């Protein structure tokens, strides 16, 4: 299944044979202090910047009604987030993963984002659309 929106992500998670836990890392796109004038110009044109993880969240697919619900919850605590990276954690033997099971994978996601190795994560913008990131 091709995932081009947050709704596609939810549908895919609910269609898996094993129960899922949805993992999210909210980030801000920022300009480094030591940027060059060219980097600043590109950033002001909507390109470049550094991803800074702000917060992590995990939910079961049943706890998440829609992207709008996630957006409303996130905006209450993180008004300045720019991208949210998503992944799913599978349960086993029809047992869903617990929130405690999500801690280590969420920490790995944060480290992946900091290292710029986000290829297995799905980034969504504030409208719930997938984003193609330049490596």
Mean pLDDT, residues 34-58: 88
- Give the pLDDT of residue 135: 53
pLDDT tens digits along 50-91: 899 999 999 999 898 889 989 999 989 988 899 999 999 999
DSSP assignment of 34-74: T--HHHHHHHHTT---EEEEEEEEEE-GGG---HHHHHHHH
Inform me whether the pLDDT recorded for 1 exceeds 70. Answer: no
Q: Assess whether pLDDT exceeds 70 at residue 121.
A: yes
Position 122 confidence tier, pLDDT thresholds 50, 70, 90 = very high
Mean pLDDT of 3-32: 92
Confidence of residue 134 (pLDDT cuts 50, 70, 90): low
Residue 123: name the closest of 50, 26, 44, 16 by CA: 26
pLDDT digits (tens, 9 = 90+) for 94-113: 899 999 999 999 999 999 99
Distance, CA of 12 to CA of 4 (rounded, Å): 11
Task: Please answer whether residues 2 and 8 qualify as being in contact, where contact means their C-beta atoms are separated by less than 8 angstroms.
Answer: yes
Q: Higher model confidence: residue 55 or residue 132?
A: 55
């Amino acid at each position: 299944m091709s995932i081009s929106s947050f709704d596609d992500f939810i549908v895919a998670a609910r269609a898996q044979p094993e129960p899922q836990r949805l993992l999210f890392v909210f980030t801000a796109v920022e300009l480094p202090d030591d940027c060059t004038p060219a980097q600043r110009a590109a950033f002001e044109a909507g390109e470049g910047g550094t991803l800074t993880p702000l917060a992590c969240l995990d939910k079961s697919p049943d706890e998440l009604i829609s992207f709008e619900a996630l957006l409303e919850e996130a905006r209450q605590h993180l008004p300045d987030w720019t991208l949210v990276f998503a992944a799913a954690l599978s349960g086993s033997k029809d047992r869903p993963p617990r929130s405690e099971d999500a801690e280590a994978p969420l920490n790995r996601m944060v480290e992946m984002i900091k290292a710029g190795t986000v290829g297995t994560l799905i980034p969504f913008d504030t409208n719930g659309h997938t984003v193609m990131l330049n490596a």
